Amino acid sequence: MIVDPLTLATFVPLALALNLTPGADMLFCLAQGMRGGARPALAAAAGVSLASMVNVALAGLGLGALIAAEPRLFAAIRWAGVAYLLWLGWKTWHSGLARADAPPVRPSRALRDGMLVNLSNPKVIFFILAFIPQFVDPARGPILPQFLVLGAIPAIGGFLVNGTVGAFAGSIGRALARDVRIERVLRRVSASVFGLLAVKLAPESHPS
């Protein structure tokens, strides 16, 4: 095997614990579910997981070190993420969620949004660089395949956890959104989640 079975036995429960910890990805999928229902929520979760694998590949190739060495690049990517989240929040605040007369949220767009939000957060690749190397054994062969195998575990777990959270929120949101007043509250809560994510990223956007 590319990765030692005993290493996998240690890595899997740790990765699952991380997946179950609420974070930006989970909140994003929850907001997408509240905004458009189960299908966009699952698509957003898939986008987050795909982007996570991109970050894993970049980390395995050593590009994380380049970002760490260039504070201006770090800040530029993070500010792009802040701006994108604020735009999503503004759009959600001013548009319908799951009302019958509201235009549906396309799963393809939710997939793209999930990827962009994850890729625009450099914190993801730094976490990957801090966590996965602890379980990589250079003696077993090339580093990149080990990164990809280990990175696929939290990516798949993240899809299952984030997708379930988002789909559950979407089912409740669609049921409650039949009431215009409740729909308005759900829409503003969803928009606020995007805004809070942007606020969380913004203080870390300055190069250190």
Domain that holds residue 155: 5-16+36-204
Residue 22 counted as domain residue:
no
Domain tally, the chain: 1
* Mean pLDDT estimate for the chain: 79
Residue 41 counted as domain residue:
yes
Asked if pLDDT for residue 40 goes beyond 80, the answer is yes
Instruction: Tell me which of 125 and 206 has the higher pLDDT.
Output: 125
* Residue 192: closest CA among 55, 90, 107, 110: 90
Mean pLDDT of 77-91: 77
Mean pLDDT of 150-172: 89
Residue 95 counted as domain residue:
yes
* Residue 36: closest CA among 135, 105, 100: 105
Digit-coded pLDDT (tens) for 42-72: 999 999 999 999 999 988 887 666 666 776 7
Mean pLDDT of 168-197: 70
Query: Considering the chain, what percentage of its residues have pLDDT values greater than 70?
Result: 75
Is-contact 163 45, C-beta < 8 A? yes
How far separated are the first and last CA of the chain, in Å rounded?
A: 40
Reported as a pLDDT band with limits 50, 70 and 90, residue 142 is confident
8: Cβ–Cβ under 8 A, 6 or more apart, which residues? 153
pLDDT given at position 31: 82
Mean pLDDT of 167-192: 70
pLDDT given at position 101: 45
Reported as a pLDDT band with limits 50, 70 and 90, residue 99 is very low
Residue 157 counted as domain residue:
yes
Is-contact 52 124, C-beta < 8 A? yes
Residue 155 counted as domain residue:
yes
Residue 28 counted as domain residue:
no
